[in-house]
Amino acid sequence: MSLTLYYHPLSSFCWKSLIALYEAGVDFEPRVVNLGDPADRAAFAAVWPLAKFPVLRDEARGQTVPESSIIVDYLAQYYPAAASLLPSDPDAGRQVRLLDRLIDNYIHLPFQGIVSERLRPEGQKDPYGVDQARGKVRQGYDLIAPMIAGPWAIGETFTLADCAALPALYYADYAVSLDAWPGLRAYLDRLGARPSIARVLSEAEPFFQYFPLKDG
């Protein structure tokens, strides 16, 4: 098989790439990476020196593609079934890319800071930093909510922006509830019902016990 995705089912950024692959029906070989296993980490580092997933390897084209958004961009460019994930219209394409970056930078990354704090040992906690991160997530919600233009992020077409929104909103909801943003809550519910996303969530289910905020 030409494509191999190096990933982990619990990783939020990996979800973005998985959703795109499942949405487009692109065949690939899933390669789950256990970064806690030295041999597995070393094998992965041989593919991508930073050893950060997701990474897509396209043997047919001799390309190694890191970073979730770039993977979706690559799929849209070279795999016709995924073309609609990045609209060819320049204005629509720019809006999709903008939403992708805003969601990642103002919801996804601040939320990951909250998770990182939960993993710190006692005596090294940073409650002030967590409060700041929660504030940034709220700002992200405020920013994104009025930009959702229809059933999906930019209207009737499911795109990269929706691939980005699901992991960010799904996980951030554990730290900063979406209840005060009913439009985003409804959007997240619509995303969760989409077959490609339901598949990603189902595959992640056995690993949720390791998610630090799952217990609230």
Q: Spell out the domains of the chain, with CATH numbers in brackets.
A: 3-85 (3.40.30.10), 90-194 (1.20.1050.10)
* Span of 49-58, 154-163, 195-204, 206-215 with lowest mean pLDDT: 206-215
Is 158 exposed, middle or buried, given 0-12, 13-18 or 19+ CB atoms closer than 10 A? Answer: buried
What pLDDT, in 10s, does the model give residues 169-192?
A: 999 999 999 999 999 999 999 999
Q: Where does the chain show beta strands of DSSP type E?
A: 3-7, 29-32, 55-58, 63-66
The pLDDT value recorded for residue 42 is 97
- CA–CA separation, 168 vs 16, rounded Å? 9
List, for residues 83-141, the tens digit of each pLDDT value: 999 999 999 999 999 999 999 999 999 998 887 666 555 665 667 677 888 999 999 99
Is 70 exceeded by the pLDDT of residue 50?
A: yes
E-strand ranges in 1-140 read 3-7, 29-32, 55-58, 63-66
pLDDT of residue 58: 97
Question: What pLDDT was estimated at residue 216?
Answer: 45
- Residue 188: both structure tokens together: 């997240």
DSSP state of 106: I
